[in-house]
Amino acid sequence: MNTAEAPAPPGGEATVAVGRALPRDPAATRGQTSISGGVVEKIAGLAAREVPGVSALGDALSRTPDAVRGVTVEVGRRQTAVDLEVMVEYGTPLREVAQDVRENVIAAVERMTGLEVVEVNVAVADVLLPGEEPTDQEPRVQ
């Protein structure tokens, strides 16, 4: 068997077999991964916007950035919960849109983060009327 000398640790010698891997712990046990609430908010917000009938998240006067407007989350070590406020296009069945949002958000968050989504609460905050555009206007008074 070929051996190559490795630097000796203090108080001893070390030799390593060439061409053979040393037994090591699996990578999954060599550290921790943490996922911030902001990451989960962005994933949930983007997944909700993908659903047909959703015109916007949150309300138009919010000063929160678009990616997380209308999205709040609680994140634990293995689980997360999501609350969403959505604006839905007029004429769209609200309960169907809410169910589609729930399914899409759960699938996206679980797939991308590995966290179990224990609940997704969807609040329909407004209805977008025909010819109306969702606005991001500043309030007239501050």
Q: What is the pLDDT along the chain (142 residues), one digit of tens a residue?
A: 544 444 545 554 544 455 655 567 887 788 888 999 999 999 999 999 999 999 999 865 554 556 678 899 999 999 999 999 999 999 999 999 999 999 999 999 999 999 999 999 999 999 988 887 765 544 445 5
In whole angstroms, what separates CA 110 from the centre of its chain? 8
For residue 101 the two structure tokens come to: 């949002």
Phi, psi of 74 (to 5 degrees): -120, 130
For residue 8 the two structure tokens come to: 């000796």
- State the sign of the Cα–Cα–Cα–Cα dihedral 63, 67, 69, 71: negative
Is 137 exposed, middle or buried, given 0-12, 13-18 or 19+ CB atoms closer than 10 A?
exposed
Task: Tell me the three state secondary structure of residue 92.
Answer: coil
- Whether residue 75 contacts residue 110, with contact meaning beta carbons closer than 8 Å, is answered with no
pTM exceeds 0.85, yes or no: no
Instruction: Please report the pLDDT score of residue 24 as a whole number.
Output: 79
Phi, psi of 126 (to 5 degrees): -165, 165
Buried b (16+ CB within 10 A) or exposed e, 30-69: eeeeebeeeebbbbbbbbbbebebbbbbbeeebeeeeebb
The DSSP bridge pattern shows strands 15-17 and 71-75 to be unpaired
